[in-house]
C-alpha cells in the first residue's frame, strides 16, 4: 500500500524526467513519493518497459520497492516519446550521462542530443516549460550549451522556455534515502519564474533550498565531489603511514576527525574511491579550470593518490600469498562498494588485473555484481580470463584459497561461519575496508589483516619498506 503523502497548499508543478538511469529513476520516484505527478522517459525501450512494470533495472537498496509503489499509485508513469512527456510536464529534468573523455573533459554529446530532441518536442507545446539540468556538467554548461540548443530546436524564447540547473547529491547504496530526504537542495536559476517553480516543486521536501546562478550550482557540485575525494585520499595516505609505524588509522581518524572543523565523514580509508562520479568529476573539474587559466593543484593530485592507494592494496594482498606460482585468492565484493551492482571505477577491477596478471588465480564472488563482472571480464585479454573464475557462492570461491580479500563488505561476508575457514588453504582475510569484526575473525579461526591497521600487520611488514618502484606493476586502469 503506497504511503500517504502529507502535501499541503497548492499542488506542485508536474514533472518530466528524461533519462531513467540510477540518478534519474531515483529522482523521479522520490518526486512521486512527495505527491508530484511524474512522467519518465528513457531512450532504451527495455528500460522503459522495466520501470513501467514497477521494477528497477538496477540493484539499489529500496529503489525497486519505491518504483513499484509509485507506479501503482499512478503518480509515476512512463512515456514512450519525448513529445508525450513534454506535453504533460511543466518542469523537465535532463538526467543524461556525461561520460569522461581521454582529455579529462566530459562528453557533452548525450546531453546536447537530449536537449535538442527535447527542444523539438517543445516546439509543439503550448505554455511555459522549465528545462532543468540535473546531470553533472562543468560551470556554464546550462547557459552556454543547453539553453541555446533548446531555444534553437524549439524556436521559442525565454518567455516560453527557460533553462536552470539542479545538481544531484545522491550516493549509490543510499540513493533512495538521499533522494527522499536530501540534506540540501541547490538550484541555479536566471529568472524569478524559474525560482518560483522550483520552490513550489521542493516545498514538500524538508531540506534547505539554496538558490544561486546556474553556473554557481554547477560549480557547487564539482567542488563538493572534489573535496570529498580529497578527504578520502588524505585518509588513505595517512593509513599507509599508519601501517608502517604500527598504528590503526581508525584511532587516528577518531582523534582528528572529532574536531568539528574536520569531521569523520569521508575519512574512511580503503583501496581507493570508485563509482561513477569522483574520478570523472575531479578530472573534469581540473580540466575545466585549466581551460579558464586556473590551476587546481590539490585536485590535480587526487586521482594519482587514489591510484597509488589501489596499488598499495594489491601489495597488501601479495604479501599474504605464498611465494611462487599456484597461489589462489578468493576476491569477495566486485562492485565499487556494497549495496550496489555498479562496477564503474570499482577498485576490484585494477586489483584483479594486477594480481591475476602476476599469475595468481582469482576466485571472484559478489552477491549482485557477478553478471556485470563477467561482462567486464569477457572483454579482457584471454590470459587474464584464464586466471579469473567466478563463483555463485562465497563458500565455492573460498575453496582452496590462500587468502580471502574483502573488497566490498556485504553482510553475508561479515557473518562468516567457521565452515568457510575450513575450505581455505590458509586462514587469512585481507580486509581492504576494515569492516570485518575482529571477534568474528577470532571465533572463525581466521587471521585478519586490515588495510590501514599497523597493529594487524606482521612485524616484517612494519619494518621493511616495499622494494617496488612506484610505477611497477601498476594497474592499467587510470580510473579510481
- Burial (0-12, 13-18, 19+ Cβ within 10 Å), 403: buried
Largest CA distance in the chain: 74
CA 475 to chain centre: 20
Q: Which of 29, 111, 277, 432 is catalytic?
A: 277
Instruction: Return the residue matching grid coordinates 522549465.
Output: 130
E strand spans, 134-234: 161-165, 185-188, 209-212
* Alpha helices in 358-474, H assignment, sequence order: 370-378, 382-387, 394-398, 411-414, 418-423, 438-444, 459-463
95 has catalytic annotation: no
Helix 214-245 / helix 278-291 crossing angle, nearest 10 deg: 120
Distances (CA, A) of 187 to 106, 203, 335: 21, 13, 31
The secondary structure of 303-359 as a DSSP string is: HHHHHHHHHHHHHHHHHTSPSSS--EEEEE--SSSTTB---TT-THHHHHHHHHHTT
Backbone angles phi, psi at 248, to 5 degrees: -95, 120
Cα gap 360→352, rounded to integer Å: 9
User: Is residue 14 within 8 Å of 52, Cβ to Cβ?
Assistant: no
Instruction: Give kind and range of the element (H or E) at residue 90.
Output: none
Residues with a catalytic annotation lie at 277
Amino acid at each position: 500500500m503506497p504511503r500517504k503523502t502529507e502535501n499541503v497548499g497548492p499542488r506542485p508543478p508536474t514533472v518530466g524526467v528524461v533519462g531513467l538511469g540510477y540518478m534519474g529513476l531515483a529522482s523521479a520516484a522520490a518526486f512521486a513519493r512527495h505527491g508530484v505527478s511524474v512522467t519518465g522517459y528513457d531512450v532504451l525501450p527495455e528500460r522503459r518497459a522495466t520501470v513501467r512494470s514497477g521494477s528497477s533495472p538496477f540493484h539499489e537498496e529500496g529503489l525497486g520497492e519505491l518504483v513499484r509503489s509509485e507506479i501503482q499509485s499512478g503518480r509515476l508513469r512512463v512515456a514512450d516519446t519525448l513529445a508525450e512527456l513534454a506535453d504533460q510536464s511543466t518542469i523537465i529534468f535532463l538526467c543524461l550521462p556525461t561520460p569522461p573523455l581521454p582529455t579529462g573533459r566530459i562528453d557533452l554529446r548525450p546531453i546536447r542530443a537530449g536537449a535538442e530532441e527535447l527542444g523539438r518536442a517543445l516546439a509543439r507545446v503550448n505554455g511555459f516549460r522549465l528545462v532543468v539540468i540535473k546531470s553533472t556538467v562543468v560551470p556554464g554548461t546550462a547557459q552556454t550549451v543547453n539553453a541555446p540548443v533548446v531555444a534553437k530546436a524549439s524556436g521559442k524564447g525565454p518567455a516560453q522556455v527557460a533553462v536552470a540547473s539542479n545538481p544531484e547529491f545522491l550516493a549509490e547504496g543510499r540513493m533512495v534515502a538521499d533522494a527522499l530526504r536530501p540534506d540540501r537542495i541547490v538550484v541555479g536559476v536566471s529568472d524569478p519564474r524559474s525560482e518560483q517553480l522550483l520552490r513550489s516543486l521542493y516545498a514538500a521536501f524538508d531540506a534547505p533550498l539554496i538558490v544561486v546562478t546556474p553556473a554557481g550550482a554547477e560549480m557547487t557540485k564539482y567542488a563538493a565531489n572534489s573535496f570529498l575525494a580529497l578527504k578520502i585520499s588524505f585518509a588513505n595516505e595517512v593509513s599507509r603511514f599508519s601501517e608502517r609505524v604500527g598504528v590503526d588509522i581508525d584511532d587516528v581518524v577518531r582523534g582528528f576527525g572529532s574536531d568539528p572543523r574536520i569531521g569523520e565523514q569521508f575519512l574512511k580509508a580503503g583501496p581507493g574511491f570508485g563509482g561513477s562520479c569522483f574520478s570523472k568529476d575531479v578530472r573534469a573539474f581540473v580540466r575545466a579550470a585549466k581551460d579558464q587559466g586556473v590551476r587546481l593543484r590539490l585536485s590535480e593530485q587526487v586521482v594519482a593518490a587514489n591510484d597509488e592507494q589501489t596499488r598499495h592494496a594489491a601489495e597488501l594482498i601479495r604479501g599474504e600469498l605464498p611465494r611462487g606460482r599456484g597461489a589462489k585468492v578468493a576476491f569477495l565484493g566486485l562492485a565499487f562498494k556494497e549495496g550496489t551492482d555498479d562496477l564503474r571505477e570499482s577498485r576490484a577491477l585494477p586489483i584483479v588485473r594486477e594480481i591475476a596478471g602476476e599469475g595468481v588465480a582469482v576466485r571472484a564472488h559478489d552477491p549482485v555484481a557477478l553478471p556485470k563482472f563477467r561482462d567486464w571480464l569477457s572483454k579482457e585479454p584471454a590470459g587474464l580470463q584464464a586466471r579469473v573464475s567466478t563463483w555463485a557462492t562465497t563458500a565455492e570461491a573460498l575453496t582452496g584459497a590462500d587468502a580471502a580479500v574483502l573488497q566490498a563488505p556485504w553482510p553475508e561476508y561479515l557473518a562468516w561461519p567457521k565452515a568457510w575457514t575450513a575450505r581455505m588453504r590458509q586462514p587469512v582475510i585481507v580486509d581492504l575496508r576494515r569492516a570485518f569484526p575482529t571477534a568474528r575473525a577470532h571465533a572463525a579461526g581466521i587471521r585478519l589483516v586490515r588495510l590501514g591497521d599497523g597493529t594487524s600487520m606482521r612485524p616484517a611488514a612494519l619494518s621493511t619498506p616495499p622494494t617496488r618502484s612506484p610505477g611497477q606493476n601498476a594497474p592499467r586502469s587510470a580510473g579510481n
